[in-house]
């Protein structure tokens, strides 16, 4: 655990390291059908992005940060293939597998392409982020986004002044759905009558539409919006800055305070960068393990961090109590719409000090 803590601290300093043009520092960003080696190494690892690409200020940049740090620490040759369209997934994965030992497909939308390409390279390794593939050379890393979303919902319900919250999603793939239902469950735990507005852009790469949808939610009474939308979510920060009054953005996946430190309420950390780093380390050390890794609060794969200075310490303590209750199995956070419909909130009688053990009672 101490080693993971040190890794997290180092990765935090490298999250979202991008140039103004969107190209990652310290990595070779590759065009379609071509590549440039970043450095000489016995191990070549390649990130294959979804169509939002490098510079999304979110999911792809987060995966790239893990690979950049792995290149520094282990001397691997870290490369990036950006997918311009979904039609590029198979060709990019094929090139990545041909040129190196490890391929990192990043995102649920690559699921069909991974299923097609992985069996063709049984002696190569794949760390698949955000989806499950059962080929024996694939390590599938999925996250309990619902647990992080639940803590975000607790925070938002305790902070809101209007009683109206917003979710602005990209595409409602399973990881996004888990974020959504967890957030709603957390908010309803604090206030069963809270209103949650939900909009989907059907894109992870449209900040202008993200801004439009978020502004609409603000105009309909929401004062806190959680974007789950990759590059599209940058528009939520633009909307909050444009609104310039008593509204907040709750960031998903990573700290995005550089987009607007005055409007970010907190961020839900998703350990994509740690998963990529650890996959690279396993290949270097010859300890690669295929199968499923399912990472939540207990595994340090999810968390709620970076609280704005205006958030009261009592609220932070309450969130810590709910986090522990989830880790202890006292609260089972719903993972999909059906589980959310059946969810019966448990309200903690949170003590004044976080060290005390909270009591739990069903919500009335």
Q: Write out pLDDT tens, residues 193-226.
A: 999 999 999 999 999 999 999 999 999 999 999 9
- Between CA 96 and CA 113 the distance in angstroms is 13
12: pLDDT confidence band, cut at 50, 70 and 90? low
DSSP H helices, the chain, are: 2-12, 59-74, 89-99, 111-117, 145-159, 174-190, 207-219, 234-243, 272-285, 313-327, 337-342
Q: What radius of gyration do the chain's Cα atoms show?
A: 20
What per-residue confidence (pLDDT) applies to 3?
A: 52
User: Are 193 and 243 found together in one domain?
Assistant: yes
- Between CA 360 and CA 263 the distance in angstroms is 33
Mean of per-residue pLDDT scores for the chain: 89
Mean pLDDT of 232-249: 96
Distances (CA, A) of 104 to 37, 141, 178, 290, 329: 16, 10, 22, 13, 32
User: Are 212 and 352 found together in one domain?
Assistant: yes
- Between CA 287 and CA 178 the distance in angstroms is 30
pLDDT, tens digit, for every residue of 65-97? 999 999 999 999 999 999 999 999 999 999 999
User: Are 75 and 178 found together in one domain?
Assistant: no
> Which of 269, 110, 96 shows the shortest CA–CA distance to 204?
110
User: Are 113 and 163 found together in one domain?
Assistant: no
User: Are 321 and 283 found together in one domain?
Assistant: no
Burial of 123 (C-beta count, 10 Å sphere; 0-12/13-18/19+): exposed
User: Are 130 and 186 found together in one domain?
Assistant: no
* 3-class DSSP assignment, residue 245: coil
Of 249, 280, 295, the last residue of a domain is: 295
- Total structural domains in the chain? 2
User: Are 236 and 171 found together in one domain?
Assistant: yes
E-assigned strands of 7-61?
Answer: 28-30, 44-48
Could you tell me the residue range of the domain that residue 175 belongs to? 145-262+302-362
User: Are 131 and 159 found together in one domain?
Assistant: no
pLDDT, tens digit, for every residue of 276-316? 999 999 999 999 999 999 999 999 999 999 999 999 999 99
User: Are 158 and 249 found together in one domain?
Assistant: yes
What per-residue confidence (pLDDT) applies to 10?
A: 60
18: pLDDT confidence band, cut at 50, 70 and 90? very low
User: Are 138 and 255 found together in one domain?
Assistant: no
Mean pLDDT of 173-191: 98
Residues 65, 246: contact at Cβ < 8 Å? no
Whether the per-residue pLDDT at 270 is higher than 50: the answer is: yes
What per-residue confidence (pLDDT) applies to 71?
A: 96
User: Are 278 and 327 found together in one domain?
Assistant: no
What per-residue confidence (pLDDT) applies to 100?
A: 97
- Give me 51's structure tokens: 């169509």
Mean pLDDT of 333-340: 98
pLDDT over 70, % of the chain: 85
What per-residue confidence (pLDDT) applies to 244?
A: 86
CATH of the domain at 338: 3.40.50.2300
pLDDT, tens digit, for every residue of 88-137? 999 999 999 999 999 999 999 999 999 999 999 999 999 999 999 999 99
pLDDT, tens digit, for every residue of 341-359? 999 999 998 743 333 334 4
User: Are 119 and 177 found together in one domain?
Assistant: no
What per-residue confidence (pLDDT) applies to 11?
A: 59
362: pLDDT confidence band, cut at 50, 70 and 90? very low
């Amino acid at each position: 655990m101490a080693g993971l803590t040190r890794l997290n601290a180092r990765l935090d300093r490298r999250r979202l390291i991008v140039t103004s043009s969107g190209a990652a520092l310290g990595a070779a960003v590759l065009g379609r059908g071509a590549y440039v080696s970043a450095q000489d190494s016995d191990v070549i690892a390649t990130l294959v992005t979804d169509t939002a690409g490098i510079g999304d200020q979110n999911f792809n940049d987060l995966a790239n940060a893990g690979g950049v740090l792995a290149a520094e620490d282990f001397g691997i040759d870290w490369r990036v293939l950006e997918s311009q369209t979904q039609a590029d997934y198979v060709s990019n994965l094929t090139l990545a597998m041909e040129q190196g030992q490890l391929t990192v497909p990043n995102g649920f939308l690559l699921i069909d392409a991974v299923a097609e390409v992985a069996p063709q390279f049984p002696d190569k390794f794949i760390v698949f982020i955000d989806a499950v593939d059962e080929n024996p050379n694939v390590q599938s890393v999925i996250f309990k986004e619902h647990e992080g979303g639940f803590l975000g919902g607790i925070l938002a319900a305790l902070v809101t002044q209007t009683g109206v919250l917003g979710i602005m999603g990209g595409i409602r793939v399973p990881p996004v759905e888990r974020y959504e239902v967890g957030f709603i469950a957390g908010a309803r735990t604090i206030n069963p009558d809270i209103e949650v507005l939900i909009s989907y852009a059907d894109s992870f790469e449209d900040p202008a539409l993200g801004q439009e949808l978020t502004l609409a939610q603000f105009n309909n009474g929401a004062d806190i919006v959680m974007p789950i939308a990759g590059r599209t979510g940058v528009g939520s920060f633009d909307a909050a800055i444009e609104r310039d009054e008593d509204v907040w953005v709750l960031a998903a996946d990573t700290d995005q305070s550089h987009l607007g430190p005055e409007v970010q309420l907190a961020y839900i950390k998703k350990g994509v960068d740690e998963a990529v780093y650890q996959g690279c380390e396993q290949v270097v050390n010859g300890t690669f393990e295929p199968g499923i890794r399912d990472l939540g609060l207990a595994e340090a794969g999810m968390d709620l961090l970076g609280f704005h200075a205006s958030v009261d310490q009592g609220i932070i303590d309450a969130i810590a109590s709910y986090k522990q209750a989830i880790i202890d199995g006292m609260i089972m956070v719903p993972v999909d719409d059906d589980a959310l419909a059946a969810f019966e909130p448990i309200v903690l009688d949170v003590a004044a000090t976080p060290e005390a053990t909270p009591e739990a009672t069903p919500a009335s």
